Structure 1
Amino acid sequence: MTTNKYVRQMKRLSIALLCWGMTSGAFASSSSTAQCPSSNFGEFVKAFSSAPEIRKAFIASPVKYVHVTADGKIPKVVERSLGVIAADELKVLLPENAAESVLTIEIKEPNRVVVRDEAGHFLKIFVFKHSDCWALSRVEDWAIDAVMEEITQSEKLTPGELELKKGVIFDRLVNKASPESGIYLYAATLDSYLDGARKGSAQAAFAAAGISLSGQAPRLENSRILALLIQASEQVPDAGLTLADFYCDEGEYDENHGCINPKESIATLERVARLGSTKALIRLGEVYEAGALVAADLPRAMACYRKIQKTDPKTATVLVERLAARGAVSDNSIQCFEAGSF
């Protein structure tokens, strides 16, 4: 009787094991034999974003997850391995969800999807790995609004200053990202600066123009760069110098063509010099000494150089002596700011 009981127990155990094996085998077979929805990456992404069963079949395990946290006052990039990706992480891949949140979706060959806004508030990059088909292998969440709140919680910021600081952090985070992702961090940097400029920050306006002209971030239209530099030059002297250059070259650094708008360039240098910029005075002197934008006028160049003696006597002495060696003399009747017909 004991033997029969043991046999019955073993039969039940065998049946249970068989059923478990069949079930788990069927699941494994379903995952491993799922058909790749398309050999075209763009079409694959459309199917992946809209069909839950495809998402389930084509997510790697584990998935690398990157995000930014605050380590005291310092932003820190953290990377983790996740066995499961929350469904909310993938909702933004659906065009209707993205549109509802005013986000844009960019499918970048060969293996990336970038979801972002135009103010530096949202930036997620989905990276896929390809073998027989694509599989989501990495999610990068570069949104830093929560980090900024923690970093600046004890600071009193002027309008636009938070966005300026955020742009600076995005710029620094580029060094922590791959070159492919860094492109979008530069774009987020520009977006943050532009947001700060809209809120009244002259420094943010100057930074936006600068990073656009640098070629790191997307190039803005010349009219917009000009407006940013004009806004910035009202409070930032160095922005006035950049504006004077922009009137001449419009950001195209070709020494072979002449100044496009010399009148506005010199007028800008004068305005900034009147605000107390030693650099603008030196630049004005160089303009009149070289005769590049107007006819050479050494006495007027001398007047500009002598005008900086109170603020930078060492530089002034060198410049005045250089002109004197060329035969220029000081003439108190000639003023630096009397820019001829300008």
Structure 2
Amino acid sequence: MKWFFIALLSLGMSSGVFASSSSTAKCPSDSFAEFVKAFSSEREIQKAFVVSPVKHVHVTADGKIPKVVEQSLSAIAADELNVLLPENAISLNLKIEIELPNRVIVRDEKGHFLKIFVFKHDHCWALKRVEDWTLDAVMDEITQSEKLAPGELELKKGVIFDRLVNKASAESGIYLYAAVLDSYLDGARKGSAQAAVAAAGISLSGMAPRLDNDEILSLLIQAYNSIPDVAVSLAQFYCDQGDYEVRRACVDPQKSIATLEGAVMRGSTRALIRLGEVYESDAVVPSDLPRALACYREAQKTMPQLVARKVDQLVARGVLDNSIQCIKAGSL
């Protein structure tokens, strides 16, 4: 991430190393938030309150595969700590979050930068672990020979962040999931429909921060305009507004059905199957089994393995489609 290190140099920051001498130094505060404030701004406190050895985690590229490397260092480079100073973070468009009881998170909101500083407390607080999850340099190496469409790099980065969650602690994983969402959102802003649907999905999953409904709807519509199969997710969202735990009538059945029908007209077999399920279930509109069978029979032409059983079950119940069409005449 060359721009970041150039910015640090422009601020005249030291590239020295700090080792711990905390046993003789006076503790600035027993309050973690107050300690972090002093630790961020005073070099002598930084020198005194870093344990040795200190754990350092970062991500490298092993060919096309990201690899998490953990090292035990006798000392830590001073410039690792520069981003903890608020004015430095602000100048680099980073935000600092103090997470009790013992973590400081420094990150941006586009998935470009993520560092987590973990402290321990004995007679005072001391930095014991630095986790650098920043992926820009890794992505440059992994994708160097690829021609990527706008937003695809950010989509790939989000996928890698998602995979790295399994390599992190539960406490750090929360912020990796936030980086997943931030990367997908950045990809969506750059025009990737896949990134848009991925952003909506990770937000609705509960693993990443929950976007507001208007933003989720906008993401799903963006994706649907390019990927007809997204109609299944968009139609569901029109019904439940992302609230899966509460059983209730569909909030907007008209838009839900219209979305599925529009996708069917654009060639989506998955939307066709979902339309059949809607007419069979009585959950969105009143049950219409002949129409459900017509939808399944139409889908059977392209995805027989997915609907053969559904067709057989309705036929066994005596349902006949006759001349009924899946999509009602004049509905679009």
* TM over 0.5, shorter chain: yes
**In 2 relative to 1, CA 325–149 (structure 1 residues): closer, same or farther, beyond 3 Å?**
same
Q: Which residue type is aligned with residue 189 of structure 1?
A: V
Larger Rg: 1
Q: Hey, what does 1:320 align to over in structure 2? A: 311
Q: Hey, what does 1:149 align to over in structure 2? A: 140
**In 2 relative to 1, CA 317–105 (structure 1 residues): closer, same or farther, beyond 3 Å?**
closer
Q: Hey, what does 2:177 align to over in structure 1? A: 186
Q: Is 1:297 aligned with 2:294?
A: no
Tell me the distance in 1 between the aligned counterparts of 2:305 and 2:40: 66
Q: Which residue type is aligned with residue 253 of structure 2?
A: P
1:13-68 alpha-carbon deviations (Å, 9 max, x no partner): xxxxxxxxxxxxxxxxx853321111110000001111111111111112111111
Structure 1 residue 321 displacement after superposition: 3.1
Tell me the distance in 2 between the aligned counterparts of 1:31 and 1:284: 66
**In 2 relative to 1, CA 317–126 (structure 1 residues): closer, same or farther, beyond 3 Å?**
closer
Q: For 1:32, what is the secondary structure of its paired residue?
A: coil
Q: For 2:327, what is the secondary structure of its paired residue?
A: coil
Tell me the distance in 1 between the aligned counterparts of 2:266 and 2:61: 40
Structure 2 matches for 1:262-273, cutoff 5 A? 262-273=253-264
Q: For 1:48, what is the secondary structure of its paired residue?
A: helix
Q: Hey, what does 1:107 align to over in structure 2? A: 98
Q: Hey, what does 2:203 align to over in structure 1? A: 212
Structure 2 matches for 1:162-181, cutoff 5 A? 162-181=153-172
Query: Relative to structure 2, which stretch is displaced further, 138-147 or 76-85?
Result: 76-85
TM-score, normalised relative to structure 1: 0.87
Tell me the distance in 2 between the aligned counterparts of 1:31 and 1:322: 73
Q: Hey, what does 2:214 align to over in structure 1? A: 223
Structure 1: which 4+ aligned runs deviate by more than 6 Å? 339-342
Tell me the distance in 2 between the aligned counterparts of 1:117 and 1:231: 24
Runs (5+) with no aligned partner, structure 2: 1-20
Structure 1 residue 316 displacement after superposition: 4.4
Q: Does the 8 A contact of 2:161 with 2:179 survive in 1? A: yes
**How many equivalent pairs are there?**
312
Match of 1:77 among 54, 68, 72: 68
Query: What's the % identity of the aligned pairs?
Result: 71
Runs (5+) with no aligned partner, structure 1: 1-29
Structure 1 residue 304 displacement after superposition: 1.1
Q: Does the 8 A contact of 2:22 with 2:50 survive in 1? A: no
Q: Is 1:139 aligned with 2:130?
A: yes
- RMSD across aligned positions (CA): 1.7
1:263-316 alpha-carbon deviations (Å, 9 max, x no partner): 111111111222222221111112122222222222222221221232123544
